[in-house]
């Protein structure tokens, strides 16, 4: 009877140990499979790119409900070029877009989009999905940005407030890179330098208040920060022919107000119609208290013509 009781007590323990052993074997097999796949990727350069043109038009003729004729177009480039040499990888991505809106009753063409961003990360594989890494990121815009108001007579006027490299941002620093697949990866960089560049003509105007133009002091053209940077990328299919791409960047400045975390989040939803046509939605949200005390948001949606190369 004692042997039966002992056997009954030991049976669940034995089952638990076998389950733990099976789980460890599964984890090891998964890691080995991931390493095998990674090892089979050939050394050398690999590149892929896509050019997209989004357009939107509205036309009214004797339309009693009212309306204003308008046309907008947006040209975008997404280019990836990667290099692999054994345990070393070098991943690069260039994102560029520019868009204009022309309405019937406006004297000015207005921008709907203006972005130039270059991401680069050098990594050396360690174990499993982890890499030692060094990240560099550069962001700016192509042309002047304006604030639009009206004069005393109600006419539309504009005042320039941004330009190419004003602002411009450069981030770089070492860290650890976790990459499960090309569609899911995270980089953590605890010692990231961030340099903000501006044209000092904006900071040299009479009565300028230190830090009021993207955090840069009077008569200066640069702001240096040191802090923690985290970037994440996740792409998945919502349904057949509909994909969602998420890019998130977080930055905390150790030197001033580290609790104020800069946020830059981008969502790209692509609804593929065929090889050439797609409906594209781009949403971006930015929080940077050096630039603006609140969230900046941008949304661009339209039918796109795509060319891949």
DSSP 44-57: EEEEEEEEEEEEEE
Mean pLDDT of the chain: 88
Q: Based on the domain organization, do 216 and 301 belong to the same domain?
A: yes
> Rounded to 5 degrees, what angle do the CA atoms 191, 139, 92 make?
75
Q: Based on the domain organization, do 162 and 187 belong to the same domain?
A: yes
Q: Based on the domain organization, do 12 and 91 belong to the same domain?
A: no
Other CB atoms within 10 A of residue 232 CB: 16
Average pLDDT over residues 146-155: 89
- CATH number where 269 lies: 2.40.230
Q: Based on the domain organization, do 49 and 31 belong to the same domain?
A: no
Q: Based on the domain organization, do 36 and 61 belong to the same domain?
A: no
Token readout for 56 is: 């939107």
**Residue numbers of the domain that contains 279:** 45-308
Residue ranges in 101-250 assigned as alpha helix (H):
none
Q: Based on the domain organization, do 127 and 253 belong to the same domain?
A: yes
**21: confidence class by pLDDT, cuts 50, 70, 90:** low
Instruction: Please tell me the least confidently modeled range out of 19-28, 68-77, 110-119, 204-213.
Output: 19-28
Q: Based on the domain organization, do 34 and 96 belong to the same domain?
A: no
Stated pTM of the model: 0.83
Number of domains into which the chain is organized: 2
Reference 186, options 227, 229, 228, 230; nearest CA is 230
**136: confidence class by pLDDT, cuts 50, 70, 90:** very high
Q: Based on the domain organization, do 262 and 298 belong to the same domain?
A: yes
Answer yes or no: are the C-beta atoms of 306 and 52 closer than 8 Å: yes
Q: Based on the domain organization, do 13 and 65 belong to the same domain?
A: no
Q: Based on the domain organization, do 35 and 90 belong to the same domain?
A: no
Q: Based on the domain organization, do 141 and 198 belong to the same domain?
A: yes
Higher pLDDT, 153 or 254: 254
86: left (phi over 0), alpha (psi -120 to 50) or beta: left
Distance CA(165)–CA(57), nearest Å, equals 31
Q: Based on the domain organization, do 219 and 107 belong to the same domain?
A: yes
């Amino acid at each position: 009877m004692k042997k039966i009781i002992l056997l009954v007590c030991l049976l669940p323990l034995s089952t638990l140990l076998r389950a733990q052993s099976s789980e460890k074997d599964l984890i090891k097999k998964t890691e080995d499979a991931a390493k095998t796949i990674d090892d089979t990727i050939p050394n050398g350069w690999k590149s892929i790119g896509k050019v997209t043109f989004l357009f939107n038009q509205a036309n009214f003729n004797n339309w009693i409900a009212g309306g204003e004729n308008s046309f907008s177009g947006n040209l975008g480039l997404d280019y990836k070029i990667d290099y692999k040499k054994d345990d070393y990888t070098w991943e690069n991505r260039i994102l560029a877009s520019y868009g204009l809106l022309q309405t019937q009753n406006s004297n000015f063409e207005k921008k709907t989009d203006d972005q130039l961003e270059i991401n680069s990360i050098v990594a050396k594989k360690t174990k499993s999905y982890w890499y030692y890494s060094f990240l560099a990121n550069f962001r700016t815009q192509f042309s002047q940005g304006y604030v639009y108001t009206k004069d005393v007579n109600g006419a539309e006027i504009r005042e320039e407030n941004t330009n190419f490299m004003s602002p411009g941002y450069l981030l770089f620093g070492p860290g650890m890179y976790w990459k499960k697949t090309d569609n899911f990866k995270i980089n953590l960089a605890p010692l990231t330098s961030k340099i903000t560049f501006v044209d000092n003509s904006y900071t040299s105007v009479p009565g300028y208040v230190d830090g009021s133009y993207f955090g840069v002091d009077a008569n200066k053209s640069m702001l240096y920060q040191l802090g923690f940077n985290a970037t994440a990328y996740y792409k998945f299919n919502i349904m057949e022919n509909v994909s969602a791409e998420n890019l998130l960047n977080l930055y905390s400045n150790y030197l001033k107000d580290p609790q104020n975390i800069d946020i830059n989040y981008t969502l790209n939803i692509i609804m593929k119609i065929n090889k050439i046509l797609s409906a594209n939605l781009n949403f971006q949200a930015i929080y940077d208290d050096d630039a603006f005390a609140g969230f900046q948001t941008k949304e661009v949606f339209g039918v796109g013509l795509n060319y891949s190369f």
